Amino acid sequence: MTTDVQGPERLATIKLIEATNPILRKRARDVGQSARPAAVIAAMREVLAAHQGAGLAAPQIGVDWRVFILADDQQPFVNPVIAERSAETDVQDEGCLSLPGIIVAVRRNLSVTVQAKGRRVQLRGMAARIAQHEIDHLDGVLITDRGVLLPDSGDAPRPEQQEKTI
């Protein structure tokens, strides 16, 4: 899906970047003091809404900046770092707009404090999980890199029981 961005900095047509694009595998650059990320953030909001996502990082639209947004938070996170993490973690299934159709079990901290330009926010639960996911994007890390193996429940068919498709 593409989104046309309006505004003074006029980005061209914006597309959601998929996992094969190398921008998703490198650490994004800090947003400089003189940068004006408003048009990028507006484009990110449009793409996030169009795909009904929970969060989006700038590299996911091809922008090499350390910026992410959450669907439930109007203020963007510019140059974010995780300042504090809870010791408690859990494993939950995660999907990613850049990896359509892929679900991976990922271990995350239950609570994090994110320090970003102009704000310091403590996040818990799903918001903490999403922020960690988006910061991973800013560091060139995908959910497939973080996947954990879960104990075998005995419910999954063994290879010899699965049908073979040719």
Instruction: Return the active site residues.
Output: 134
DSSP string of 17-72? PPTTSGGGGSPPBPPPTT--THHHHHHHHHHHHHHT-SEEEGGGGT--BSEEEETT
The distance of Cα 27 from the centroid of its chain, to the nearest Å, equals: 13
Residue 101 Rama label (left phi>0; alpha psi -120 to 50; beta): left
CB 76 within 8 A of CB 37: yes
| C-alpha to C-alpha distance for 133 and 142, rounded to whole angstroms | 8
Q: What is the 3-state secondary structure (H, E, C) of 12-25?
A: CCEECCCCCCHHHH
